[in-house]
Chains A and B, each alone.
Chain A
Amino acid sequence: QVQLVQSGAEVKKPGASVKVSCKASGYTFTSYGISWVRQAPGQGLEWMGWISAYNGNTNYAQKLQGRVTMTTDTSTSTAYMELRSLRSDDTAVYYCARGGVVGLGWFDPWGQGTLVTVSS
């Protein structure tokens, strides 16, 4: 079955970086894109950006420009999201989700989520 499995929870200090992985299985990785979505405690869903697994094209949410980088490794069908200069308000559950190869489209399925806690 189509599945996205994410890396485990992280605790980081303010100013540090975090890199979350998302391993895909059950489908042709390069035929889709991967979006990243985060959810702060008790809050709604915030789209962070998208990467095409076909050609590596990216589009990032404006508020995260300059702090986020999304990459893929097609040899292992894994997507990565790196967030730098972490602040306390980056504390959230981070999800990867399969989406369209050109960036538009619905998300299905989603990874199980990775809790990133930013605390001194």
Chain B
Amino acid sequence: EIVMTQSPATLSVSPGERATLSCRASQSVSSNLAWYQQKPGQAPRLLIYGASTRATGIPARFSGSGSGTEFTLTISSLQSEDFAVYYCQQYNNWQTFGQGTKVEIK
């Protein structure tokens, strides 16, 4: 099973600042990586697939990069609605999720 490790577990950021979230795979997943956002009491929402392609309707302040084993989700200027938990998911060898990064207001 491919293990996905996200860091940090919690990220404290002020509104308007940049947030950088990391996701590492235990073996190469090529570009078969997605990012999701989950707010309390809601289902996850797809943000990024193919490591860097924004899903329909996702604002341009969200960007993804990386390939192989190292990936990054960047939120260029945090808005109030962006404070949530973010998960990465590999789909190169079935599916596994990272444990999540909580982005909280500083």
Number of chain B interface residues as a range: 20 to 34
Choose among A47, A50, A110 the residue that contacts B43 (Cβ–Cβ < 8 A).
A110
Choose among A35, A44, A111 the residue that contacts B95 (Cβ–Cβ < 8 A).
A35
Choose among A35, A44, A104 the residue that contacts B99 (Cβ–Cβ < 8 A).
A44
Does A14 sit at the interface, judged by CB under 8 A? no
Chain A facing B: main interface SS: loop
Does B78 sit at the interface, judged by CB under 8 A? no
Task: Return 25 A-B CB contacts under 8 Å, by A number.
Answer: A35-B95, A44-B97, A44-B98, A45-B89, A45-B97, A47-B95, A47-B96, A50-B95, A62-B1, A95-B43, A99-B95, A100-B91, A104-B32, A104-B95, A105-B91, A106-B49, A106-B91, A107-B44, A107-B46, A107-B89, A108-B46, A108-B49, A108-B55, A109-B46, A110-B44
